[in-house]
Amino acid sequence: MCGHATLACMYVIFRFYETDWDSVDFLTKSGKLTVRSAPGGSMEGERSCLRPGGCVAGFGSVAGLAKVKSLDGLLLHLTARGTEYDCVSRSFAPKLNVAEDPVCGSGHCHIVPYWRQILGKEKITAYQASARSGILYCRMEGDRVVLGGKAALYAISDICVK
């Protein structure tokens, strides 16, 4: 499941193709993923959370990416308490040939339950501090994480087949 790509795709569908729709359910290997349109170009998606097992110690260098490839799982998330936001994070997926994920929606399904427990808050504003960065508006609903964010149209293109 790729959260931010799913939200971006649905932004295009809601804006250009199915303008009267307000939500779509996807059946994924991770379970049902519901995406809803919100005012002002915002998108919101929710899915069940899965708790990750284990942590990686000493992940502080480029050589650490090679270590991550030997671990179970596909993603590694680093997170800390924020000052302007509830938490900040970075996500890495070298097994998927993604050195760093710019804004990882599925990763926040791990990060948000952690910060909910630490901060005692149902709503978490998260900042992913990659080079491209992004802000995620998150909340817990039972065992599900709801992720929201702003979508922006980057380009409009036509595909011509000759």
User: How many domains would you assign to the chain?
Assistant: 1
pTM: 0.76
The torsion defined by the Cα of 100, 149, 1 and 160, in degrees rounded to 10, comes to -90
| Band of pLDDT at residue 38, cut at 50, 70 and 90 | confident
| Band of pLDDT at residue 37, cut at 50, 70 and 90 | confident
Q: Does pLDDT of 17 surpass 70?
A: yes
Mean pLDDT of the chain: 80
Residue 90 falls inside a structural domain: yes
Sequence-separated contacts (24+) of 153-160 with Cβ below 8 Å:
153/11, 153/12, 153/15
Q: Which of 149, 152, 118, 121 is nearest to 134 (CA)?
A: 149
Residue 76 falls inside a structural domain: yes
Q: Does pLDDT of 59 surpass 70?
A: no
Per-residue model confidence (pLDDT) at position 124: 96
Residue 55 falls inside a structural domain: no
We report the CATH number of the domain holding residue 68 as: 3.10.310.10
**Between 24 and 61, residue with greater pLDDT:** 24
Q: Does pLDDT of 120 surpass 50?
A: yes
| Domain hosting residue 134, numbered range | 3-49+60-150
Residue 23 falls inside a structural domain: yes
Residue 19 falls inside a structural domain: yes
**Between 62 and 137, residue with greater pLDDT:** 137
Residue 162 falls inside a structural domain: no
pLDDT tens digits for 70-116? Answer: 777 788 888 999 999 999 999 988 888 888 888 888 889 889 999 99
Residue 157 falls inside a structural domain: no
Residue 158 falls inside a structural domain: no
Q: From residue 13, give the alpha-carbon distance in Å to each of 76, 112, 134, 153.
A: 31, 27, 21, 12
